[in-house]
Amino acid sequence: MAEISIAHARTSIGSKLLTAIGTAQLLQVITGCFIKGLLQVVLSISYAALVYGGKLSPYVGQGIGYALVGAFIIATIVSLFATLPGSVGSDQDVSVAIFSLISVSIVATMPPDASLEETFFTIVTAIALTALLTGLFFFCLGTFRLGGLVRYLPYPVVGGFLAGTGWLLFKGGFFLMNGKFNDANLFQLAYIGHWMPGFLLAVVIFITSKRIHNSFVLPILILGGTLFFYGTAWLMGSSPAELSAQGWLIGPFHEQTLWQPLTIEQLSKADWKVIAGQAANITTVLMVSSLSILLNASGLELAAMRNIDLNRELRTTGIGNMLSVLSPGFVGFMQISLTVINFKMKARSRVVGLIAVVIIGLTIAFGESDRMKIWTFLDFYRVTGRQVAELVL
């Protein structure tokens, strides 16, 4: 009976996919969902490296686990309960930009005798508290039907918000590549070698996305850039240990499970006075995240030519963010660019969104195994070219 039930479930899922998109497009949609899942993994890893990098780098592996589990929860809730089937949820750069400021500020304001572990869990607790408050704020806005307020925001406010967020991410990305931003030595050859490749990739992404209007441009360029980096390193004979020592890679990670739940003992190490000093930044996350989710929903309305219940989106996303505190992950909600891909492929099914969720889940479950390191490209440095051949063959 159990085998019959499983077979029936598989048949049901396949029928839903075929009904939603048609047989001819099935392979294209599955491939697209796979790429979107990988992109969400890469984004979550990048965001965690930005927030937990620098002085906190010994804990970046644990931070990546928190980010991935949080993204898994958000993506699942959005896929299942968003207004439009086919919607994709993920961690959001607007909140991560401010979380990076919170991280830097907490590191600078912790007591001199505080350990690195206490600093790390103070930052994690601050992020968890922010996600909880943001989720509660979303839910209240949706419950009291205040989602339509975004339509009254003036364009200068929206434009200033987007420009400020972009600048924070630019600075954060530059610091992640080079370890510093405002420094007279940045244009010395030793430093240029670290930040110039990333800068050139950013230019390529910008120009290509302007000339080629295709939703797969960004995932393909990220994958291509990653393969080019490791191909070049392999041809130059650089070992994984050398790349890591020279600061080219995230890690190294300690041998541990990718994600471990927070314990009461770990939370007790947080400095609540320091967290209280971040009240202004935490409030900023609430406000900019609320603005972003409503702007994304309005943008999707135009792209899909369908009305979206903004209040339902707020309630759904609010619940997702409150649940993500269990990780704890970053603030997340509907990702407009990934969702538009589904609509362009006419893949308007909740099952389609869940395929990308499966990729995130597999990364969390098997992220430490050798075979899954091929999937999580930022962990790829632990496998040499010869070992890759052995794994594949």
**pLDDT tens column, 81-101:** 988 888 888 888 888 888 988
For residues 172 and 50, the answer to whether their CB atoms sit within 8 Å is: yes
- Please, what is the angle between helix 189-211 and helix 155-178, to 10°? 140
- Span 237-276, pLDDT tens digits: 777 667 766 767 665 555 555 678 888 888 889 999 999 9
Q: What's the pLDDT at 168?
A: 66
In whole angstroms, give the CA distance from residue 368 to residue 372: 7
Q: Do residues 281 and 96 lie in contact, with contact meaning Cβ atoms separated by under 8 Å?
A: no
pLDDT in tens, 127-171: 999 999 999 999 999 999 887 776 676 767 767 766 766 676 677
Q: How far apart are CA 314 and CA 297, in angstroms?
A: 10
Residue 279 has pLDDT above 50, yes or no: yes
Cβ atoms of 195 and 163 closer than 8 Å: no
Higher pLDDT, 29 or 1: 29
- Predicted structure pTM score: 0.75
Q: How confident is the model at residue 180 (pLDDT cuts 50, 70, 90)?
A: low
Report pLDDT digits (tens) over 96-109: 888 988 999 999 99
**Residue 164 in 3-state DSSP?**
helix
Residue 346 has pLDDT above 60, yes or no: yes
Among 12, 69, 70, 74, smallest CA distance to 362 is for 69
Q: What is the mean pLDDT of residues 374-382?
A: 39
Residue ranges per structural domain of the chain = 2-392
Helix (H) or strand (E) holding 375: helix 370-375
- Report yes or no: 78 and 87 within 8 Å, Cβ to Cβ: yes
Write the DSSP symbol of residue 184.
G
